[in-house]
Structure 1
Amino acid sequence: MEPKNRTTRARRLARAAAGLLAVAAAVTVTAAPAQAAPAWGPITQVDLGVDGARANQQSMSLGISGNGRYALFSSSATNLVADASPGFGLYVRDLRTGRTELVSRADDGTALTSIAEEAGISGDGRYIVFSAEMNGVFNVYVRDRVKGRTSAVTNATASGASEGGSYEPAISADGRRIVFMSARTDLVPGAPVAPNTRNVYVIDRVTGATRLVSVGVDGQAANGDSEHPTISGDGRTVGFTSKARNLLPETDGGTADLARLRFTTLYATNLDSGTTVVAGLDPDGTPGAAAPTLRLSPDGRYAAYALSAPPLPGGKARTELFVNDLRTNRVQSIRTSANPDAICWGEPSAAITADDRWIYFSGGCSDTVIRAGQARFDLYRQDLRTGRTELLTTASDGTPKDGAAGDPFVTDNGRTVLFGDNSSNLLQGGTGSDWQVYIRSLKNS
């Protein structure tokens, strides 16, 4: 099993933005875009290196500590630290001191050269979890930034590489629980795991116990791949996508006969109760045709995801963003427009604040297009209680930016957001057209 393409998210947004540009001329403009609240401060770049130099290659946002001090990102830049990894590395920037630190290191401090794209940061910024190839196979590792040590979360040798490695780690806020995906069959002795099938696991770093999450009904092996795991900040809920059709009974409270579905389904598992539910629901309560990722709120109550929607004019594909209250199964559409006739689009990489009040997301609607040819993936935040929406990304002079925003991560209090953007006019003086990483904070934060 090979690591995922490191530019998957960037290319997805770039393709989607290009498609929207092609159809924007056919969209009727009916209203001005939502405006950012005046309390927001300027947008500042995060992927900076020695002497504040801007990254000389693309970077992607990966996470922010709960208190907003530490930002995690990946980059192919060679000018961020003195011993940058050739081609690709994981970095943490201290937003208070301005220090950029390479965290994809072996325990002896050596910069690692084969890193998978996905990584995560604990709530206090101390622990970084990632997947890297050492000794011929990919394993999950955790880096303790305080002690300067890297330790293996999973263990496998080159002789066992035929079973595949372990990928896509995410970490709880307290750093105790780590979720990941693996096709190995030896991670939990006696666990029902089908050969050559990807499964989702969680490991407790305090007890050392590893648990299979993607297990079928009555303890049977999942009969399809499960991947893209995420974990709530409190470490109690795991979200993942799966092609398996036996994770729930065939008739689950009238939801649907999952055995008849042909698309990937989004699930959420409560680790305390062991209960698994469908997270990616349509507004009518049935499982939807979802994009293969989801995000959970820090308390695990809400799942954010994107569902396939009728094509845009010209036949271009699109997805719309939704939030599901996992306690009540109330599904809420997240749109930048209250106009029911507006054509909207949204990305599944949305972030929800710790108080379940605000959602930060990338998307747009046909009536937030300034003029023909400028349908964009902008960054917004929406009040989940009132529906009030704020636009957070514009060019440095307040005019529309010329690129796409994506992959937002937000602090617990919602006062700072980390995101990626490939606009060339986001900052004064220009930023090129590569994907770079930025933050925006409330002025009094």
Structure 2
Amino acid sequence: MQPTNRTTRTRRLAHAVGVLAMAAAVAVTAAPAQAAPAWGPIAQVDLGVDGTRANNRSVSLGISGNGRYALFGSSATNLVPDGASLLFGLYVRDLRTGRTELVSRADDGTALTSTGETAGISGDGRYIVFSAEANGVFNVYLRDRVTGHTRAVTNGTASGEGEGEHGSFDPAISADGRRIVFTSARPDVVPGAPVAPNTRNVYVTDRVTGATRLVSRGADGQAADGASENPTISGDGRTVGFSSHATNLLPATDAGTAGLLRPRYTTVYATNLNNGTTVVAGLAADGTPGSADPHFRLSPDGRYAAYGLSATPLPGGKSRTELFVHDLRTDRVLSIRTSDNPDAICWGDASAAISADDRWIYFSGGCSDTIIRAGQARHDLYRQELRTGRTELLSTAPDGGEQDGAALEPFVADDGRTVLFGDNSSDLLPGGEGFDWHVYVRSLAKR
């Protein structure tokens, strides 16, 4: 299996849909949503150059800081004139002009046919980072939308059997476009760096200095003794987050380290690039490390980590995830729920987004006593004010009623007024068709 995020993302979408059905047994009469400000209509984003709706599933991947440019990936073949042969393409849509462009292109403009599903967009929308396969190996690339050029960030070459496991993947980029993080199992990314054979690690490249450094390393300077992947980076480029199976990323004397000594344990970490310190980002409410969903996000200033922890299962023993926010400055841990009822069973997706002013968190989830339709539990899109807990529902049908599907993977503009997300509902727009995944945007109405 090629180590892109395609399979992982597909599994997460399928898991979310499964939770919707499995949680139905705990649903009760709906509670009314709190009054919300005047949000504008929902608009579809995965549209072709002529406005044609995507003919296959799409996923949300990011939004520029000013809310103008939306990054998404799609298996559609009808979005650009030369897209008929694409298995998966990466696109940017200008939400102001309606222009859609394919950004997963080689430097000569050729559409790339084997592209990873993880990508990132800079704050001004100029730079796109992504991974793609060429000559049997995946590398990370940077696309400059202004100049139209694509250049390699990593330069690994195929060297033998199983090379797919030794490429570079899953890139993300800081808001200013300077720092790029990625995962690689290649032993030669940083010559002389302490890495274990055939083990994935997280790296960061500084485009200004040209230097690449290993982020996932043991506290004693030795190689990490487990795989680290799923990197994310704060907008200011100072903090890198990642998931890891390693047991030696923290000093052995740190409180709670004993809980990380099981090889199968996965949790999430945050590393301050300025001073090199690494801390556990995925803490439970009692301050101990939790079994974390490997995908999580950092706030633009790197202060907060939003992540999901395994929780008491739903009826029938099915798994669920609860959403938390960890203040990395104060160590305060906040549970993100749509209900004040301590007896309510709640769930949330780990891919939550926090606005640049640290005021709002946008997330997908629900609780057994706050769902919109009695007898049906699912992932709806909300935003919650972190200071007060005030919660607003964002994914609704055109008449303001409940959607008939699920919303996932939100991304928010810096001011918190525009949100991009994926959804498989059939009734978000008039004339909606089927229950496939598409990408949408919603903004606060202008006053």
TM above 0.5, yes or no, is: yes
Per the alignment, residue 324 of structure 2 pairs with 322
Aligned-residue sequence identity (percent) comes to: 78
Contact persistence 1:23–1:314 (CA under 8 A): no
Task: Give the match's secondary structure for 2:220.
Answer: helix
- For the structure 1 residues 24 and 165, does the alpha-carbon distance in structure 2 shift closer, same or farther, using more than 3 Å as the test? same
My pick for the range that moved more, 295-304 or 34-43, is 34-43
Shift of 1:262: 4.1
- Say whether 1:75 aligns with 2:77: no
**Amino acid paired to 1:19:** V
Contact kept? 2:409, 2:421, Cα under 8 Å:
yes
Q: Is the 8 A contact 1:14 1:404 kept in 2?
A: no
CA deviation string 1:384-438 (max 9, x = no partner): 0000000000112222111110010000000000000000111111142110000
Residues of 1 paired with 2:211 and 2:427: CA distance? 49
Match of 2:114 in 1: 114
Distance 1:9 1:36 in 2: 33
1:72-97 Cα shifts (integer Å, max 9, x gaps): 00001111111115221000001111
Task: Report whether the alignment pairs 1:143 with 2:133.
Answer: no
AA at the equivalent of 1:313: P
Alignment of 1:55 onto 2:57: no
Residue equivalent to 2:341: 339
Alpha-carbon distance between aligned partners in 1 of 2:73 and 2:198, rounded to the nearest angstrom: 29
Structure 1 residues 385 and 256: alpha-carbon distance in aligned structure 2, compared to 1, 3 A threshold: farther
Counterpart Cα distance in 2 of 1:233 and 1:276:
18
Q: Distance in 2 between the 1:284 and 1:262 partners? A: 22
Residue 179 of structure 1, CA deviation: 0.2
Which residue pairs with 1:42 in the alignment? 41
Matches within 5 A, 1:179-198: 179-198=181-200
Task: Name 2:4's counterpart in structure 1.
Answer: 4
Could you report, residue by residue, the CA deviation over 1:311-332 in whole angstroms, capped at 9, with x for unpaired residues?
1122221000000000111000
Cα RMSD, aligned residues only: 1.7
Task: Please give the per-residue CA displacement for 1:349-373, whole angstroms capped at 9, x wherever unaligned.
Answer: 0000001100000000011124443
Change in CA separation of 1:334 and 1:252 when aligned onto 2, cut-off 3 Å: same
CA deviations 1:159-214 (Å, max 9, x no partner) are 36737100000000000000000000111111101110000000000111000000
**Counterpart of 2:55 in structure 1: which amino acid?**
N
Change (3 A) 1:257 1:311: closer
Aligned to 1:383: 385
1:410 lines up with 2:409 in the alignment: no
User: Do 1:227 and 1:242's aligned partners in 2 also have CA atoms closer than 8 Å?
Assistant: yes
Output the amino acid matched with 1:231. Answer: I
Deviation at 1:153, TM superposition (A): 0.2
Letter in 2 for 1:349: S
| Equivalent residue, structure 2, for 1:271 | 273
TM-score (normalizing by structure 1): 0.96
- The AA in structure 2 aligned to 1:149 is H
CA distance in 2, matches of 1:171, 1:8: 20
Q: Unpaired runs of 5+ in structure 1? A: none
CA–CA distance in structure 2, aligned partners of residues 127 and 377 of structure 1: 31
Residue deviations 1:79-124, cap 9 Å, x none? 1111115221000001111000000000000000000110000000
Q: Which amino acid aligns with 2:66?
A: N
User: Is structure 2 residue 445 aligned with structure 1 residue 443?
Assistant: yes
Q: Counterpart of 1:63 in structure 2: which amino acid?
A: G
Shift of 1:5: 5.3
- Alpha-carbon distance in 2 for matches of 1:11, 1:430: 24
Q: Greater shift after overlay, 246-255 or 361-370? A: 246-255
In 1, the alpha carbon distance for the partners of 2:136 and 2:256 equals: 47
Contact 2:22-2:314 at 8 Å conserved across structures: no
Runs of 4+ in 1 over 6 A off after TM superposition: none
Alpha carbons of 1:264 and 1:22: their partners in 2 closer, same or farther (altered >3 Å)?
Answer: closer
TM-superposition CA deviations, 1:28-86 (whole Å, max 9, x none): 33x52424624110100001113211111110000000001100000011111111152
Shift of 1:217: 1.8
User: Which letter does structure 2 place at the counterpart of 1:13?
Assistant: L
SS in 1 for 2:369: helix
Distance change in 2, residues 1:71/1:370 (3 Å): closer
Tell me if 1:374 matches 2:376: yes
Contact 1:91 / 1:104 at 8 angstroms: preserved in 2?
Answer: yes
Once residues 36 and 134 of structure 1 are traced to their aligned partners in structure 2, the CA distance between those partners, rounded to angstroms, is: 51
3-state SS, counterpart of residue 16 of structure 1:
helix
Corresponding residue for 1:286?
288
For residue 24 of structure 1, what is the amino acid of its counterpart? A
Shift of 1:12: 2.3
Cα distance in 1 for residues equivalent to 2:201 and 2:235 = 21
- Conserved in 2, the CA contact under 8 Å of 1:107 and 1:149? yes
Which position in structure 1 is the counterpart of 2:353? 351
Structure 1 letter corresponding to 2:192: G
Distance 2:77 2:353 in 1: 29
Separation in structure 1 between the aligned mates of residue 213 and residue 22 of structure 2, nearest angstrom: 47
In the other structure, the counterpart of 1:203 is 205
Partner in structure 2 of residue 17 of structure 1:
17
Count of paired positions: 444
TM-score by length of 2: 0.96
CA contact (8 A) 1:22 1:373 kept: no
1:258, distance to aligned residue in structure 2 (A): 2.8
Contact 1:26 1:372 in 2 (8 A): no
Relative distance call for 1:157 and 1:25 in structure 2 (3 A) is closer
Trace 1:413-428 onto structure 2 (pairs within 5 A). Answer: 413-428=415-430
Query: Following the alignment from structure 1 to structure 2, what is the Cα–Cα distance between the partners of residues 407 and 202?
Result: 24
Q: Residue type of the partner of 1:133?
A: E
Check conservation: 2:339, 2:370, Cα contact below 8 A: yes
Secondary structure of the corresponding residue to residue 158 of structure 1: coil
1:219 counterpart SS class = coil
Do the aligned partners of 2:346 and 2:367 also contact (CA within 8 Å) in 1?
yes
SS at match of 1:159: coil
Partner residue of 1:222?
224
How far residue 251 of structure 1 moved from its aligned partner, in angstroms, is 2.6
The Cα shift of 1:237 comes to 0.2
**Letter of the 1:210 counterpart:** T
Contact 2:49 2:101 in 1 (8 A): no
d(CA) in 2 for partners of 1:7, 1:260 = 25
Residue deviations 1:100-157, cap 9 Å, x none? 0000000000000000110000000000000001122100000000000000000022
